[in-house]
Amino acid sequence: MSKPICFYDIPGTSKAVAWSPNTWKTRFCLNAKGLPYKTIWVEFPDIEAVCTQIGAAPTGKQPDGSPMYTLPVLHDPNTGATVSESLAIARYLERTYPGPVALIPPALDGLVGDFQKAVWAAFGLPMMRLVVPAVHATLRPGARPYFRATREARFGQPLEELAPAGSALRAECWAKTREAAGVLAGWWDEEANTKGLVPRAAEEAGAGERTLLVSDALPVSYADAIMVSWLYWFRECLGEESGEWKTMTAWHGGRWVRLMAAMEKYAQVDSGESVQLSKL
Ligand SMILES: N[C@@H](CCC(=O)N[C@@H](CS)C(=O)NCC(=O)O)C(=O)O
């Protein structure tokens, strides 16, 4: 590889700038594989125009049936490929650049798609209600009206009513999100215990982090990247200093913070360059 890969991401005003869970998955892959890349920051209202311009395929349909364009997108000048959708990008990177770390071991390629869907099904709506209003506040001011209009159309409700601070609904969403994370914690435990990676006694003492869907040679996997990307979303949008984030860091014996710490070496964010088409 000689030329840096172009990685399209959405900027925010949070500490890391990068806040989107779907694009974080791609960043973890690029960093873990040590691939040269540059981030191209695209504001929400410009995503469709940029994707059309670079020939990125839509990833779904809008409610009116028109194509839906989303980030992450990756353009690899070394192969000419332009790839949309986080899992398709992870698979492209795995196929094209198998070393030095295989984040999706070949035998688990089929499973990882189901895993991603299962994580989404477990967290789903309660998590969205909690964080979507915070995403709005995290975006740069010029991108907010687009985000508000599209998300309010999707939920059929003003952002302020999705899970208002102090409401019983918000408490219920938190309880469901915590419960879902508990189910996921069981999957990580099962994996670690099956492989003998972390003895039960160590877990009870709260020691060590564990990773999921690993081969013995791998420190982390794409499955870990998926989970940590959701956690980054919470942290970046709710704010590291918020009471809600602090509460979350204590969930399940602090295991999620340990998993984040294990992935931190792959979390660098470059300054990259910005594309701005709309007058924001
Ligand atoms: N399944 C897609 C989902 C990507 C996605 O929803 N991205 C959001 C940002 S987190 C987006 O770009 N939305 C564009 C829009 O709402 O206009 C993936 O995993 O890449």
Tens digits of residue pLDDT in 117-170:
888 888 888 899 999 999 999 999 999 999 999 999 999 999 999 999 999 999
Superfamily of 5-102+268-275 according to CATH = Glutaredoxin (3.40.30.10)
Are 7 and 37 in contact by the 8 Å Cβ rule? The answer is yes
Identify the H or E element spanning 83: strand 81-84
Q: In this predicted structure, what is the pLDDT of residue 192?
A: 62
* Per-residue pLDDT reduced to its tens digit, 31-59: 999 999 999 999 999 999 999 999 999 99
Q: What is the CA radius of gyration of the chain?
A: 19
Distance 212 CA to ligand 1 centre (A): 24
Which ligand 1 atom is at minimum distance from the Cα of 71? 12
Which ligand 1 atom is at minimum distance from the Cα of 44? 17
Which ligand 1 atom is at minimum distance from the Cα of 45? 17
pLDDT at 68 over 70: yes
Which CATH code for domain 106-266?
Answer: 1.20.1050.10
Enumerate residues 6+ apart whose C-beta is below 8 A from 69. 47, 48, 51, 52, 56, 58, 59, 84
Q: In this predicted structure, what is the pLDDT of residue 43?
A: 96
Q: In this predicted structure, what is the pLDDT of residue 194?
A: 65
Portion of the chain with pLDDT greater than 70, in percent: 89
pLDDT at 175 over 70: yes
Q: Which residue has the higher pLDDT, 109 or 143?
A: 143
Distances (CA, A) of 141 to 45, 104, 138, 251, 280: 12, 37, 9, 32, 8
pLDDT at 220 over 80: no
Q: In this predicted structure, what is the pLDDT of residue 200?
A: 39
Distance 238 CA to ligand 1 centre (A): 19
Q: In this predicted structure, what is the pLDDT of residue 103?
A: 86
Which ligand 1 atom is at minimum distance from the Cα of 25? 19
Distance 60 CA to ligand 1 centre (A): 9
CB atoms within 10 A of CB 162: 21
Name the residue at shortest CA distance from atom 19 of ligand 1.
86
Task: Check if 5-102+268-275 and 106-266 are the same fold.
Answer: no
Global pTM? 0.92
Measured between alpha carbons, how far is 4 from 2 in angstroms, rounded to an integer?
A: 7
Q: Give the start-to-end residue ranges of the domains of the chain.
A: 5-102+268-275, 106-266
For residue 72, cis peptide bond before it (omega within 30 degrees of 0): yes
Q: In this predicted structure, what is the pLDDT of residue 201?
A: 37
Distance 13 CA to ligand 1 centre (A): 18
Q: What are phi and psi of 61, to 5 degrees?
A: -125, 145
191 lines ligand 1 (CB under 6 A): no
Measured between alpha carbons, how far is 20 from 26 in angstroms, rounded to an integer?
A: 10
72 lines ligand 1 (CB under 6 A): yes
Q: In this predicted structure, what is the pLDDT of residue 206?
A: 38
